[in-house]
Amino acid sequence: MPPPSTLAQLPVGSSALIQSLPTGRVGLTRLRELGLTPGVKVLVVRRAPLGEPLEIRVRGSNIAMRNHEAADIVITPVEA
């Protein structure tokens, strides 16, 4: 199994399992409320032309986030 990386490094069309998110940051707390929790599978749907925001699909919903938020989310890549 490949070593964990961050959601910001995951290429478009790839899936991953969330391993951890830091606590205490308002933006990441909101993402947790939207369903980004450890153990959940996410799919990178697309990136805006300049690289951000990043659009992901999690639990049947599409969510956009900035790269600095995605860089704090530790993931393990998985097969789609």
**What does the pLDDT read at residue 28?**
82
What kind and span of H or E run contains 46? strand 41-47
Can you tell me the distance from the alpha carbon of 10 to that of 78, in angstroms, rounded to the nearest whole number?
11
Q: For residue range 6-61, list pLDDT tens digits in order.
A: 999 999 999 999 999 988 877 788 888 889 999 999 999 999 999 889 999 999 99
**What does the pLDDT read at residue 4?**
61
> Rounded to two decimals, what is the model's pTM?
0.86
Residue 3 banded pLDDT, cuts 50, 70, 90:
low
Residue 75: is its pLDDT beyond 70? Answer: yes
Please give the C-alpha separations between residue 29 and each of 25, 36, 75, 80, in angstroms, as whole numbers: 6, 9, 17, 26
**What does the pLDDT read at residue 10?**
92
- Residues 13 and 39 sit within 8 Å (Cβ to Cβ): no
